[in-house]
Amino acid sequence: MNITQHVATLGQSLWLDNLSRSLLHDGTLARLVAEDGISGVTSNPSIFQKALASSPYYADDLMRLKASEPDAERRYEALVIPDIQAACDLLRPTHEASGGNDGYVSLEVAPRWAYDSTRTVEEAQRLSAAVNRRNLLVKVPGTPEGVSAFETLTMLGINVNVTLLFSVAQTEAIFHAFIRGLNARIQADADVRHSKAVASLFLSRVDTLVDSQLTAIGTQAALSLRGKAAVAMARLAYQRYLGIFHGEAFAALAQQGATPQYLLWASTGVKNPDYRDLLYVEPLIGAETINTLPDKTLAALRDHGDPTPRVEEGVAEAEAQLAELARLGIDMDAVGNTLQDDGVKLFEASFQKLLQQTG
């Protein structure tokens, strides 16, 4: 058993934060599943934008689509949905072996609908039907409108990866939306045993923004907190997860066969070269969590990772660190809202590049 496979024995799933036709055609993804225990895949507009720019396997299909499909967005979907389906099929044995708890592949609703709950619901239903795989998660942003859409989609039985979460408050709002959606589904006499959702909490971008604010403050107390905000936030989010999904709020749903909405650690590749390359991996290993890893971070974990369950360690220290950030004038809820809006803009920019590439 190698290091990455050992992580699974500690209750954490490792997903690959990458997907391209090259990974599928050359057998790389299959090897990662077989040899590293990768049990899921996440994608987003930035990932597909890079895939279409670098992989040689799209050219023939794109030429054919340019002659037959006038709409650029439909051409994009016709290119990437087969990749999503192939990844779902590759991970179907994992999905079945886990009883539907793992083995998922994520596909994102177009970012321009991030602030339109009605259209997000419609697009999520359309994409779910187009992919037609039980182990698909439709990605919906955790904006206020996305929260509403997520609740509706849960009620309708669409499985969702809620993305672009950057604070404990945003994450907790998503947890409660999941519970409301499941309760509404039960009220409609529908089965909740196959309902699945994850909450993707982004990490490295939080430290990037908070570190810049701490550097601007410049005191020793401020500088000593650099590189600590994201892990502290994640550990407190996990405590909220435990309190909600292993507490009274979820007890009745659990009796109906519902499963909790796992936290997924996203944006786990370090952006500051001074930080340890596994800063957003090793401290956050623990039961009922997922870490989605870029290729480079996965390679680092395989090479020199120390897989020990640590996500429940240092809770008091995390609380003290966030309290000190607040004392210094850094509002983590405001940080989260800024990063969420920025995240939508970044994904929309990548999506527009995608459409230009298929034009």
Active site residues: 139
Beta bridge partners, 64, equal none
Contact 226, 215 (CB under 8 A): yes
Element (H, E) at 41: strand 40-41
3-state secondary structure of 57: helix
DSSP state of 345: H
Report d(CA 234, CA 266) in Å as an integer: 10
What are 153's two structure tokens?
A: 């989609």
Element (H, E) at 291: strand 289-293
Nearest to 261 by CA among 289, 299, 297, 229: 289
Note the Cα 168 to chain centre separation in Å: 15
Distance of CA 353 to the CA centre of its chain: 22
SS3 content of the chain, % helix, strand, coil (to 5): 60, 10, 30
Query: In degrees rounded to 5, what are phi and psi of residue 257?
Result: 95, 10
Closest CA to 149 of 136, 164, 139, 135: 139
CB of 290 within 8 A of CB of 13?
A: yes
Residue 322 is classified by DSSP as H
From 217, 166, 215, 200, select the one nearest 334 (Cα to Cα).
166
- Rounded to whole angstroms, how far apart are CA atoms 332 and 37? 34
* Interatomic CA distance for residues 107 and 101, integer angstroms: 17
